[in-house]
Amino acid sequence: MSLRVVVVGAGAVGSFLGGMLAASGASVTLLGRRLAPGSEPGVLLIEDVDGTRRVPVERAQDTAAITAPDLVILAVKQFDLPGALDAAASWPDVPVMTVQNGIGAEAAAAAARTSPLLAGSLTAAVEPAPGGVRRLRAGGMGVAVVRGDVGALAAEVVALFSAAGLRAVQFDDAESMKWSKLLANLVGNATSALLDMDPHDIYDSPRSFPIERRQLLEARAVMRSLGLHPVSLPGAHVQLLLRSLLLPPLVSRPIIARAIGRARGGKSPSLRLHVRGETAGPTEAYWLNGAVAREGARLGVPTPVNTGLAALVDEAAADPERAAWFEGRPDRLRDALDALERAAHG
């Protein structure tokens, strides 16, 4: 029998993950929004560099008519996770996989359920497309067991993704995987949102690069205090990035800038899309830079840049004039971060 999967959240990420599993023979139901006009009810289109694939999927808007699956994937933003967990409560004993960016989804799922838990980290860049989803860069997928005797299920999911053309790796330590993905998510994200600059340009500039470097090294220090080791995910060479940051800036800056430019596939970072009004809802800064700040405070590790960036992103998202003040001005961002650090120390 094929693996039966329900994906809660039929946006770009949920559609892509569900579609890739379906392409390898899994039976997939996408639970979420109404079907876009012109789309085929039982078909999902996946646009890729090699062309467009048509994969069979079921679609549903509630859980009532869905038979209990073998796996539930929660593919929503962090701020929508409580609603997704409510939907998954229809199958209380079924293993769940969280694929949210940032830190906190696994703890929320563990608190809400007693079922086995998996964590996933997607590094491919995807966006909605007519009738389905478009992959902008190859990337890959990390999978790890958080709780329960589901190593065989994790291995099956990895095999299905890999067979469909999404490079997938099973990791032994879910926390190290998620924090490593967090490091990748921090790259050119909050700074891009505030400065309205492309990540390549932020890393290429001697005015903005020090801010980026400090936020990543703060996150690395928090990981060390947690006893976690960075791992490189498929499509996200986190260990190489951290080693590069230790080189003299004149050497590391152009190297990292080129790598960042290639890695994003032309897609703007998530926080930039929120602050600049291209996507709705709250930002994920609380679970990205904010997660580094909270763990740093708990462990006694200074994180002034991450603390400041988390606050300033939400501030700019709520106030277009404040967002415009930072636009293209790394000097203003540096001064604002310095002011917040001074205020924090009285």
* 190-248 per-position pLDDT tens digit: 999 999 999 889 998 999 999 999 999 999 999 999 999 999 999 888 998 898 888 88
Which pLDDT belongs to residue 154?
Answer: 98
Structure tokens belonging to residue 173: 């330590």
Residue 38 banded pLDDT, cuts 50, 70, 90: low
Residue 12 banded pLDDT, cuts 50, 70, 90: very high
Q: Using CB atoms within 10 A of its CB, is residue 48 exposed (0-12), middle (13-18) or buried (19+)? A: middle
Least confident of 228-237, 272-281, 290-299, 303-312: 272-281
State the average pLDDT for the chain: 92
Residue 340 in this model has a pLDDT that exceeds 60: yes
Contact 143, 120 (CB under 8 A): yes
Which pLDDT belongs to residue 92?
Answer: 97
Q: Is 102 left (phi over 0), alpha (psi -120 to 50) or beta?
A: left
- Give CA–CA dist 192/137, Å, rounded: 19
Ranges of beta strands (E only) in 88-189 are 96-98, 117-122, 125-129, 132-137, 141-147, 168-171
Q: What is the strand order of the sheet 51-56 is part of?
A: 51-56, 43-48, 132-137, 125-129
Residue 255 in this model has a pLDDT that exceeds 90: no
Counting residues of the chain whose pLDDT is more than 70, the rounded percentage is 97
Residue 33 in this model has a pLDDT that exceeds 60: yes
Instruction: Name the nearest CA neighbour of 9 among 93, 95, 113, 79.
Output: 79
Range 298-311 average pLDDT = 97
Residue 278 in this model has a pLDDT that exceeds 90: no
Structure tokens belonging to residue 273: 């899309």
CB neighbourhood size of 67 (10 A): 9
* 94-142 per-position pLDDT tens digit: 999 999 999 999 999 999 999 999 999 999 999 999 999 999 888 999 9
Which pLDDT belongs to residue 305?
Answer: 98
* 68-88 per-position pLDDT tens digit: 999 999 999 999 999 999 999
Higher pLDDT, residue 148 or 1: 148
Which pLDDT belongs to residue 259?
Answer: 76
Which pLDDT belongs to residue 264?
Answer: 58
**4-172 is a CATH 3.40.50.720 domain:** yes
Counting residues of the chain whose pLDDT is more than 90, the rounded percentage is 77
3-state secondary structure of 158: helix
Residue 273 in this model has a pLDDT that exceeds 90: no
Residue 333 in this model has a pLDDT that exceeds 70: yes
- Give CA–CA dist 39/43, Å, rounded: 8
Which pLDDT belongs to residue 138?
Answer: 85
Bridge partners (DSSP) of residue 117 are 96, 147
Residue 37 banded pLDDT, cuts 50, 70, 90: low
Residue 297 in this model has a pLDDT that exceeds 70: yes
Which pLDDT belongs to residue 39?
Answer: 74
3-state secondary structure of 197: coil
- Looking at CATH, the fold of the domain delimited by 180-344 is given as N-(1-d-carboxylethyl)-l-norvaline Dehydrogenase; domain 2 (1.10.1040)
DSSP 229-292: ---PBTTB-HHHHHHHHTS-HHHHHHHHHHHHHHHTTTPPPHHHHHHTTSS-S--SGGGTHHHH
Contact 333, 326 (CB under 8 A): yes
Domain ranges for the chain: 4-172, 180-344
What are the Cα distances from residue 22, in Å, to 87, 116, 272? 21, 22, 32
Instruction: Name the nearest CA neighbour of 145 among 71, 78, 237, 223.
Output: 71
Q: Which residue has the tokens 């892509």?
A: 16
Residue 296 in this model has a pLDDT that exceeds 70: yes
Contact 197, 329 (CB under 8 A): no
Which pLDDT belongs to residue 40?
Answer: 81
Which pLDDT belongs to residue 246?
Answer: 86
Which pLDDT belongs to residue 193?
Answer: 95
